[in-house]
Amino acid sequence: MSKIDIAIKYTSAEQREPVSTSTGVWVSYVRDVRDVFQYLNGVDENKVVTFLSFCKTGCLVTMVRSLQGRGGDNVAAWVYIPSDCDVSGEELSALLADVKGLLFKESISLQQIQALASRNYPRKPVTIDYTPSVREGAYAFRKTDFYPIEDILGSGRYQEYYLQFKGIIILDAADSVTPAISMKDLTRMPIEAMSVLIPPSASEVSSALGPNASLLYQTPMGFLQFKDPVKIKKGSSITLLAFKKGFDKIPILITSNEDYKQCSFPEGFSPVWKKSLSRNNFKILDSAGSGEPIPSARIVLNGVDLATGAYALNESEIKSSQLLVSASGYEPYEGPIRFSNNDTVVVSLNKIVTGVQYKVISHGKEYDITLPEEADKSSSPLEGYVWGKDDTLHFDSSAGGKKTLLKGALYGFAAATALALIIWAISSPGKSPKPEAVPEEPVPVVVEEPEPQPEPVVEEPVVVDTRNAKLLNYLKKNEVWEQDSLAVHCPGLYEAMNKYNYEKVIQLLSDYQDVPKVKKLLDAMANPVKKSGTYCIDGVITLSTYIARITPEEKGE
């Protein structure tokens, strides 16, 4: 059974504490309500003003009687109806009439209050938390000439549009009390019955959706797991979402015309988990040290160009899919999809190195050599040869060294030949295309004299910071760490933090303790609160919140 609690509060110069039949948290909502009088005309000591408000665990009906001639003093009764109390509008109206009678007594004893609060009521099969009314703001009003008081106080007494107001004043249509200032009139707003949706059990969810899947519903605060009962308007529908990390959510429509509905999966429901990929899921980067994005890259998945839309893959197709990424000036990538995390594919492309053809003059004959475009002209790629006019290499015996030593890299088939012969013959016009042997230059005899050995120089050690510069910069600049960014800069860090794998996090970040926020995180992990499950499901870790969550609460002496 369930009970309704009552508190009486006198507001005067003495500011007496409320007299209550319980000490529940709801009593903290009992306050000075003299501000309600400024909203109304026609209030005197013979009238009682009634208004509704809500706390997390129930409905509050407040009745206030002015004590005229005492500067706004009043006596107020607060009636608390728990959300699990199954009381009808008629029963509640009868109780309120009795409580109203107390307000006209010269004195009110605790025994009188307890006698009214001793009545028992059935308990609802499911308890739902309410959203509390705002504590600061304006009042609205509702007259009893459209909906009678029994309907206003009945099973539909909790309406979500009430919550934006500090209280909903109930004006008797036959009374002379009227609004004194502008207030929102809710008289004709519908009183909608509510239906309670009861979630399926954890074993039912696992059986229907498979391992590592859950059931969600959407709220103004984002997606929440459907583990506790929720309210919807009776006769309306709600879309639940089957969720599995890394895949598209699967909608499940639920409609309820019942007071209480036990939710279950549709008969024969068998989810097909798919992942929809568009260009936004891909990061195409230059493989050079800068790792700059390549915005012009073309992405083709299983023959479908992702330039104009998305492509959905089921679980088996992901493993067998073929990806082609190409961009002008880069070598293409062709192969399977590899996710750096659940939603992002990172592909690094290598630039195509192109060459420039130069002439080599040896014994009056010309030969070709191909060098990279960025070849350094300040030195020769072939020992024994020097650069001459018109970017031509000439043999110079005074240059010394072994003529066959190749300093620079040669490219292509011609480069492979040059590597063996240094240079290769180009047939002269009018002659047959038979290759000529490359004449060898005479090798001068050089008498080597021992060179004086310089005194050994003791060099100062050079300290090189081998840390990942991009990761270091990211850690310094960001308080909110995103899964996609961490996957690029420090693979495995997000997963370790999300699953509270403290040892792995310390291993990955141990070289970055000079970053204050990192040091604070690692210090917290030295003696952390043991956690299970995951920190979040949206791919974002707010560092200060994370540290607070794993830091033990300090207990007073």
Q: What is the DSSP letter of 180?
A: S
Query: What per-residue string of b and e applies to 134-169 under the rule 16 or more CB within 10 Å gives b?
Result: eeeeebbbbbbeebebeebbbbbbbbeebeebbbbb
Cβ atoms within 10 Å of 53's Cβ, excluding its own: 22
Q: Is the pLDDT of residue 557 over 70?
A: no
Q: Is the pLDDT of residue 184 over 70?
A: yes
In this predicted model, which residue has the larger pLDDT, 438 or 207? 207
Question: Which of 13, 286, 31 has its CA nearest to residue 133?
Answer: 31
Q: What is the pLDDT of residues 474-490, one digit of tens each?
A: 898 888 888 878 888 89
**Which sequence spans correspond to the domains of the chain?**
2-185, 195-271, 275-349, 355-425, 469-550
299 contact partners, CB below 8 Å, separation of at least 6:
279, 282, 284, 305, 306, 307, 323, 324, 325
In whole angstroms, give the CA distance from residue 419 to residue 40. Answer: 101
Q: What is the pLDDT of residues 374-420, one digit of tens each?
A: 667 777 777 778 888 777 888 776 755 444 333 333 333 333 333 33
Residue 49 has a pLDDT of 95
Give me the CATH code for the 275-349 domain, please: 2.60.40
Dig out the tokens for 141 from the structure: 């009003």
356-360, 379-383, 446-450, 453-457: segment of lowest average pLDDT: 446-450
Please give the share of the chain, as a percent, with pLDDT higher than 70. 84
pLDDT class for 142, splitting at 50, 70, 90? very high
Query: Per DSSP, what are the bridge partners of residue 367?
Result: 360, 425
513 contact partners, CB below 8 Å, separation of at least 6:
519, 522
Residue 54 has a pLDDT of 96
Residue 249 has a pLDDT of 93
Q: Is the pLDDT of residue 140 over 90?
A: yes
Residue 219 has a pLDDT of 79
Q: Is the pLDDT of residue 135 over 70?
A: yes
In this predicted model, which residue has the larger pLDDT, 447 or 401? 401
Residue 356 has a pLDDT of 78
Decide if 87 contacts 121 (C-beta within 8 A): yes
pLDDT class for 13, splitting at 50, 70, 90? low
Integer-rounded Cα radius of gyration of the chain: 41
Dig out the tokens for 365 from the structure: 């004959």
Decide if 357 contacts 370 (C-beta within 8 A): yes
Q: Is the pLDDT of residue 226 over 70?
A: yes
pLDDT class for 422, splitting at 50, 70, 90? very low
Please give the share of the chain, as a percent, with pLDDT higher than 90. 43
Decide if 340 contacts 495 (C-beta within 8 A): no
101-115, 400-414, 507-521: segment of lowest average pLDDT: 400-414
107 contact partners, CB below 8 Å, separation of at least 6:
none
Cβ atoms within 10 Å of 306's Cβ, excluding its own: 19
In whole angstroms, give the CA distance from residue 215 to residue 353. Answer: 52
List Cβ<8 Å contacts ≥24 apart for 499-505: 499/534, 499/535, 500/528, 500/530, 500/531, 500/532, 500/535, 500/550, 502/528, 502/550
In this predicted model, which residue has the larger pLDDT, 141 or 363? 141
Instruction: For the chain, give the mean pLDDT.
Output: 83
Q: What is the pLDDT of residues 170-180, one digit of tens each?
A: 999 888 899 99
Cα–Cα distances (Å) from 10 to 27, 67, 75, 115, in that order, read 14, 10, 4, 20
Q: Is the pLDDT of residue 366 over 60?
A: yes
Residue 423 has a pLDDT of 37
Helix, strand, coil abundance in the chain, percent, nearest 5? 25, 30, 50
Element containing residue 476 per DSSP (H, E) = helix 469-477
pLDDT class for 556, splitting at 50, 70, 90? very low
Dig out the tokens for 176 from the structure: 């002379």
Cα–Cα distances (Å) from 49 to 69, 74, 293, 432, in that order, read 17, 11, 67, 117
Decide if 64 contacts 74 (C-beta within 8 A): yes
β-pairing, 540-542 vs 392-395, is: unpaired
Q: What is the pLDDT of residues 21-48, one digit of tens each?
A: 998 899 999 998 989 999 999 998 999 9
Q: Is the pLDDT of residue 280 over 80?
A: yes
